[in-house]
């Protein structure tokens, strides 16, 4: 049975927990015993470990007899598919110097994968690469199999280790830290997946041991395609009652895996001194009632399962906003084209539900009105406020509420180019009785001739990267009807980027198999990503801007230092954010360290790299970003120049641009 229930996340794969078993001729009994004990699936060898292809006798025609597995009929197709993950023989060594072993390994691997595919298994666990990472022939054979595998996943077993080993002569007080030999299992995984061309059906199963690498080193794995975490019983501590528990660091790691839909597999023997009576099955969930023939079931790994279930159930429920965003996680979307396209009603409705955004706008307008109009003039002075890009009226409403809150009089011009939204605006004005306060203008703000100057200019033209929905160009066009001392809300905005490992996003882009998709920026709710360094600011725009040499073109060179204890890392692209100052101390943004809470109008933007870049430990990542403009479009170009150069992406806006 699943580990438990979590609000809004009941369909996550991570609520299923498996168990690693030894080979057993009686698969039905093995499966039943573990399912009855509360496990959801078994990670089990499909082949007798004593089998070697070179020992198989030939028949009269010289063909091999293959007695390496039991019949597929011993379980139903649904049982094979839902409750068994195949475990490829651990003796297989495709990079062995022993030619017979190497040949046997290649034959056995192909046979076992073929048999697993015949059984319709969802996944098979591959043995770990040899220590030292010499895995060229292993990767070649797996890559061949991946080309013919369309639905079954292959999980590469990788120990979760990153240690620095020093010889005895280098451990003294005068030892040279550069002489350390680093054993980082991430390097093994990275070499293997590069040789397999980032295949989308190749995943990781991490062996969780008693000691863990640093937090930054662990963080890399959340951007990798990890499907399972195999937790060994030797990793568990003992609580005051003598039962297994995990350290705080292990708990945090397991919880992180739960949040990233990583399944847990319990492996090993009973290493805690627990009485046989205590091993009697107690339900993971209160509605379980497992027994065999009425007798209590005893399973020596049951206490470990119960502890994992406890960790799962005690997790905080997902916030309402996260529940709303579940379906958008790691889903690539093309950014809006606000000038070229008219938004649809459903898009307006989604954005209008973001109460936090409009609360911040109302706060900004209130502060601007109080600064603009002294208390003694509140009853006689009328402030002219123009909402440019009024949509269906949420900023109009927020501005009028600010006026009521501060006791100031307001005259509002609502400027909107979308004729369909204008229809809704007219209906809203009549419904609210705002005819004497609000004038609707059906026009592009860049073309409208205003009858008077505005005291306050309000807009919500910001995109995920700040300027990517052409707020600078639009507000430049609207600036001519703002008074010289007028206020723009927002008054400024800055874009940010940070390097990320995002294997799923890379594979999704790569699946299109063309250049254009690698030169497009995507809006995406980032989830299975590893943020490798703190974000840095890129482009800043300020409004109003009266400079004689004003240009909206920008160029920025950035240097990122990945923390030394992270180890090497693979950069698949860059996550982009923005932060804006609406007015004075009222800000709005999605940059992780300053993000406005409970706001969902903007997801981050993702700039992919055509070729993922490996950044060795201690190397500096040098990145270049350009914002380019022509008479008809605006586009971004980006590249990396260190530690090794990448192509310049999106030259001349050939793949991705925003139309003026």
Confidence (pLDDT) at 297: 64
- Measured in degrees and rounded to the nearest 5, phi and psi for residue 606 equal -125, 120
Q: Encode pLDDT of 255-287 as tens digits.
A: 999 999 999 999 999 888 776 666 655 455 544
**Residue 170: burial class (beta carbons within 10 Å; 0-12, 13-18, 19+):** middle
**Which pTM was predicted?**
0.90
254, two tokens: 């397991």
Cα–Cα distance for residue pair 223/501, rounded to 1 Å: 5
What is the C-alpha R_g of the chain? Answer: 30
| Ramachandran region, residue 393 (left: φ > 0; alpha: ψ -120 to 50; beta: rest) | left
Element (H, E) at 207: strand 202-208
Q: Are 479 and 545 in contact (CB under 8 A)?
A: yes
Cα–Cα distance for residue pair 43/22, rounded to 1 Å: 9
97 labelled ligand-binding: no
Q: Encode pLDDT of 351-373 as tens digits.
A: 899 999 999 999 999 999 999 99
Q: How many CA atoms lie less than 13 Å away from 152 in the CB half-sphere?
A: 26
357 labelled ligand-binding: yes
Strand partners, 440: 414
Comparing CA positions, the residue from 243, 267, 290 lying closest to residue 33 is 290
Q: Encode pLDDT of 290-300 as tens digits.
A: 444 455 567 89
Handedness of CA 188, 189, 190, 191 (dihedral sign): positive
302, two tokens: 């049951």
Start and end residues for every CATH 3.20.20.150 domain found in the chain: 13-49+69-162+183-318
Q: Which CATH number fits domain 492-659: 1.10.1760.20, 2.60.120.10, 1.10.150.170, 2.70.160.11?
A: 2.70.160.11
Start and end residues for every CATH 2.70.160.11 domain found in the chain: 492-659
Handedness of CA 27, 30, 36, 40 (dihedral sign): negative
Q: How confident is the model at residue 38 (pLDDT cuts 50, 70, 90)?
A: very high
As a whole number, mean pLDDT of residues 558-580 equals 96
Active centre residues (catalytic): 460, 469
CA dist list (Å): 21 to 34, 41, 42, 86, 522: 9, 10, 7, 11, 43
358 labelled ligand-binding: yes
As a whole number, mean pLDDT of residues 149-165 equals 84
Q: Encode pLDDT of 585-629 as tens digits.
A: 999 999 999 999 999 999 999 999 999 999 999 899 999 999 999
Q: Encode pLDDT of 437-454 as tens digits.
A: 999 999 999 889 999 999
* Angle between helices 136-147 and 185-195 in degrees, nearest 10: 50
Which fold, 13-49+69-162+183-318? TIM Barrel (3.20.20)
556 labelled ligand-binding: no
Looking at domain 345-460, does it have CATH number 3.40.50.150? yes
């Amino acid at each position: 049975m699943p580990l438990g229930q979590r609000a809004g996340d009941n369909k996550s794969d991570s609520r299923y927990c498996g168990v690693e078993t030894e080979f057993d001729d009686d698969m039905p009994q093995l499966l039943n015993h573990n399912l009855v004990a509360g496990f959801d699936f078994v990670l089990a060898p499909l082949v007798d470990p004593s089998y070697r292809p070179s020992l198989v006798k030939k028949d009269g025609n010289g063909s091999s007899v293959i007695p390496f597995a039991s019949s597929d009929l011993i379980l139903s197709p649904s049982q094979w598919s839902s409750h068994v993950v195949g475990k490829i023989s651990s003796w297989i060594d495709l990079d062995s110097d022993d030619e017979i072993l190497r040949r046997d390994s290649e034959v056995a691997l192909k046979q076992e994968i073929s048999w697993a595919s015949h059984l319709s298994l969802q996944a098979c666990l591959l043995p770990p690469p040899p220590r030292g990472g010499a895995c060229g022939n292993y990767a070649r054979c797996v890559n061949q199999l991946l080309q013919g595998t369309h639905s079954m996943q292959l999980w590469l077993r990788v120990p979760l280790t990153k240690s620095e080993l020093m010889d005895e002569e280098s451990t003294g007080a005068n030892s040279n830290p550069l002489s350390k030999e680093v054993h980082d299992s991430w390097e093994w995984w990275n070499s293997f997946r590069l040789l397999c061309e980032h295949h989308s059906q190749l995943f990781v199963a991490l062996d969780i041991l008693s000691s863990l690498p640093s937090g930054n080193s662990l963080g890399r794995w959340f951007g990798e395609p990890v499907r399972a975490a195999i937790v060994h019983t030797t990793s568990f501590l003992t609580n005051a009652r003598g039962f297994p528990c995990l350290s705080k660091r292990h708990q945090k790691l397991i919880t992180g895996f739960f949040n990233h839909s990583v399944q847990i597999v319990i492996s090993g023997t009973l290493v805690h001194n627990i009485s046989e009576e205590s091993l009697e099955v107690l339900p993971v969930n209160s509605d379980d009632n497992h027994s065999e023939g009425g007798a209590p079931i005893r399973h020596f790994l049951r206490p470990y399962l119960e502890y994992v279930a406890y960790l799962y159930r005690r997790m905080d429920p997902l916030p309402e906003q996260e529940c709303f965003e579940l379906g958008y996680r790691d889903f690539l979307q093309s950014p809006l084209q606000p000038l070229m396209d008219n938004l649809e009603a459903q898009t307006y409705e989604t954005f209008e539900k973001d109460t936090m955004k409009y609360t911040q706008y109302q706060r900004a307008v209130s502060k601007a009105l109080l600064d603009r109009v002294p208390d003694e003039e509140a009853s006689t002075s009328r402030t002219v406020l123009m909402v440019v890009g009024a949509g269906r009226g949420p900023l109009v409403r927020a501005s009028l509420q600010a006026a009521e809150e501060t006791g100031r009089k307001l005259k509002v011009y609502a400027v909107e180019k979308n004729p369909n939204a204008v229809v809704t605006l007219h209906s809203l004005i009549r419904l609210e009785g705002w005819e004497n306060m609000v004038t609707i203008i059906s026009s592009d703000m860049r073309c409208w001739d205003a009858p008077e100057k505005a005291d306050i200019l309000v807009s919500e033209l910001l995109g995920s990267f700040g300027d990517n929905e052409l707020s600078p160009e639009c507000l430049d066009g609207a600036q001519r009807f703002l008074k010289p001392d007028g206020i723009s809300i927002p008054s400024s905005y800055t874009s940010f980027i940070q390097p990320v490992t995002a294997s799923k996003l890379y594979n999704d882009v790569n699946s299109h198999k063309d250049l254009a998709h690698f030169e497009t920026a995507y809006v995406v709710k980032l989830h299975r990503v590893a943020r490798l360094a703190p974000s840095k600011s890129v482009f800043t725009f300020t409004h109003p801007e009266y400079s004689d040499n004003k240009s909206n073109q920008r160029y920025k060179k950035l240097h990122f230092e990945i923390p030394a204890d992270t180890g090497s890392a693979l950069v698949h692209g860059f996550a982009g954010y923005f932060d804006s100052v609406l007015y004075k101390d009222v800000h709005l943004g999605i940059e992780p360290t300053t993000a406005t809470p409970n706001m969902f109008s903007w997801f981050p933007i993702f700039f992919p790299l055509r070729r993922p870049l490996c950044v060795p430990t201690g190397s500096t990542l040098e990145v270049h970003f350009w914002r380019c403009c022509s008479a008809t479009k605006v586009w971004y170009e980006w590249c990396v120049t260190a530690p090794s150069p990448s192509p310049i992406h999106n030259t001349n806006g050939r793949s991705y641009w925003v139309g003026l």
